[in-house]
Amino acid sequence: MKYALISDIHGNLEAFTECLKVIEDEGCEKIVCLGDIVGYGANPPDPQWPGGAKIAVNFVINYEEGSEPSFELGDGVTENGLTEAHGLNQVKSGRDLAAEGMFEYGSRVGFWRLHRLFQERNLPVTIFGCALALERNPEAAAAIKAAGYDVCSHGWRWVKHFELSEEEERDHIRKAIESQQKTVGHRPDGWYCRYGPSVNTRRLVAEEGGFLYDSDYYGDELPIWTRVNGKPHLIVPYSLTNNDGKYAGWMGTSDDWFSYIRDAFDMLYEEGRKGQPKMMSVGLHMRLIGHPARAVALQKLLDYMAQKRDVWITRRVDIAHHWMAVHPAK
């Protein structure tokens, strides 16, 4: 198989188009992009958010609980990521029953608290859903469907895709699609791996087809078009910065998290008022911010944003559709 390696496109569409012609003439079967550290530069495109909004905000609930590595699912290990036990490794061998209970809290309690906060305010939210986790909680899956939340696949299970073989990863993608068609009534709109993708993920997602976008990228605050196997592919970036994962690290109180995310919002909102609107992703985990003292911060944040004019709180799929319409692939 003949590969073409490209990098540092720097928004130069003319040069990029010429490169694609050369790649085609050389008979390359696969294209691998090694990255682009320049991006949109000093003058990013105007997203033209609906209603002249100065910022687009997308809240994401990561529905992972029930699909994590566990003894029950045959992994021979108990996952404790993004819990009160994160990084402690208290149990050296065998099941960590404490960590198992912390995950179960997310699906038993945390989801319903977060769901209530958004429903009370009639606000949309995106679900990054692990397919097996949704299968194991039909009531939550039904609530997601009834609320009209969009679902971006978070994988068949909450595992690290960069540790899977190409065939294993392809199988996980197909299982996730088939499962979510049953649980939430439609195939996932987008794709997002646990933490980061493998070198094959984007190509496999594009080859499978049917996805509007993927979110396996943290390097921008606006959607980005790239090409996979010579065809346009949309990336809607995500954030581990504006994320309740901070609660599993140094952040202690709801006041800490609220002020941190509020400051990010204020900066982006002001940039939008000055003529450079952006998007803001806010990542939530049911077993973290679903706890009462932490959920208070989310409640305050939603009410704070509601006081501002020209704020588009929306689903991820709506951002994707909007970008495709206003800034179509060239």
pLDDT tens-digit series, residues 117-144: 999 999 999 999 999 999 999 999 999 9
Mean pLDDT confidence for 239-258: 92
Give the model confidence (pLDDT) of 204-225 as tens digits: 999 999 999 999 999 999 999 9
Check whether 86 has a pLDDT greater than 90.
no
Check whether 310 has a pLDDT greater than 50.
yes
* Angle at the Cα of 141 from the Cα atoms of 87 and 320, rounded to 5 degrees: 85
Q: What mean pLDDT is reported for the chain?
A: 93
Give the model confidence (pLDDT) of 267-279 as tens digits: 999 999 999 999 9
Identify the helix (H) or strand (E) that includes residue 22.
Answer: helix 13-25
User: Which pair of structure tokens corresponds to residue 231?
Assistant: 């065809």
Give the model confidence (pLDDT) of 32-70 as tens digits: 666 666 789 889 999 999 999 999 999 999 999 999 999
Hey, which bits of the chain come out as E strands?
Answer: 3-6, 30-33, 55-63, 126-129, 150-153, 190-191, 213-214, 224-228, 231-235, 278-285, 311-313
User: Which pair of structure tokens corresponds to residue 254?
Assistant: 């709801």
pLDDT score at 35: 61
Q: Which residue has the tokens 């195939």?
A: 187
Check whether 12 has a pLDDT greater than 60.
no
CATH topology for the 50-242+314-326 domain: TIM Barrel (3.20.20)
Domain with CATH 3.20.20.370 in the chain: 50-242+314-326
Q: Phi then psi for 247, rounded to 5 degrees?
A: -65, -20
**Residue 187 CA: distances (Å) to CA of 84, 150, 151, 212:** 33, 10, 8, 11
pLDDT score at 10: 46
pTM of the complete model: 0.90
Helix axes 111-120, 138-147, angle to 10 degrees: 20
Q: Which residue has the higher pLDDT, 47 or 2?
A: 47
Percentage of residues in the chain having pLDDT higher than 90 = 82
pLDDT score at 231: 95
List Cβ neighbours of 76 (8 Å cut-off, separation of 6 or more).
Answer: none
Mean pLDDT confidence for 3-28: 68
